[in-house]
Structure 1
Amino acid sequence: MADDLTELQRRRALTEDAARAAAVESRHAGGRRTARENLEAIVDAGSLVEYGRYAIAAQRSRRDLQELIERTPADGLIAGTARINGDIFGDAAACAVLAYDYMVLAGTQGAHGHRKKDRLFELIERLRLPTVFFAEGGGGRPGDTDYPVVSALDVRAFALWAGLSGLVPRIAIVNGRCFAGNAVIAGCSDLIVATKHVSIGLGGPA
């Protein structure tokens, strides 16, 4: 049991920004915050209940497991339930928050990340949770070889996200590059908050 707890603590530490000092420094040098910093800036302290924190990219067939644990924490998507301005709104402050992590494979959408979104979107519908989504990232990730797909029609996230229209407020926040699937998430939101440095596109220039 002690060994298992030690390993759990080690894995948790690897999901924190402190484990990726060089990547964090690069983000800050570009005038941007990390995904975790973005969430910490808006949610009430200690209120985030994260889903799938220990997920990794679906690339075990071509990359070392330890490398994936160290380099693809949360499969590049931090997501969960939280509270925003609970001191003002009380119980009505409950919400859902999601943030693609650009420090993980350019914020691309991975197979396990899609499943996290599916689960959380269903919870959002059931509990009627207002949602904030930091959508920066590069769209679908072609390198997830553990689940070979052609058209990825089994990905339910986009239909589930669209189905929330009219049920809950959906706010997308973008600072940086936001393309393909990430841009679909942003574009289907009720409100997009974007900085002057943002680039949003459904397809690449080629």
Structure 2
Amino acid sequence: MVGSQLRVVVLVSGSGTNLQALLDATADPAYPATVVAVGADREGIEGLTRAERAGVPTFVLRVKDFQTRSAWDAALTASVAGFDPDLVVSAGFMKLVGEDFLAAYAGRLLNTHPALSPSFPGMHGPADALAYGVKVTGCTLFVVDAGVDTGPIVAQSVVPVLDDDTAETLHERIKTEERRMLVEAVGRMAREGFTVDGRVVRFGG
């Protein structure tokens, strides 16, 4: 996709601060990507409001509205495909996608994790890092695979752990760095292209 606008669909479940970072970046004509749609698994969330304020199309697919989880996954796959994205970004999307979605967007689905993978996977990365006593932690942008926070790493950024940190203060500083990392990495993927070779993600055509 080098030399053209990278089409991005963003999936959200909550406040959408990572989404907002991307929307702010794409408001600059020089930024080489555009958010073409925002999808959610629930209604009435700030992430959808952010998209609507930016004039970006939205869609909502609630798991409880489908008879099976696989039916929801197939519907999500079809809805995202309707916007013909080059890249899908999970930005605080609190549902695990299934086999259909992973197959359709293999190598093109990104997620962030508030720790330096492979350390501290799961839902409590900042608290786990603090409890372990590490002196630095950070955030990871990765290509989603079938595991939990196990996919090939696109980018990482380090955040120091301060003596007076709580899990909450540490997480807030990580999230600030996470937004910067996401915007920078997506921009670079758009400008330079990228490949996924096993566990290695390389920028460049």
TM-score clears 0.5: no
Normalized per residue, the structure richer in strand is: 2
Larger relative contact order, structure 1 or 2 (CA cutoff 8 Å, min sep 6): 2
TM-score (norm 1): 0.29
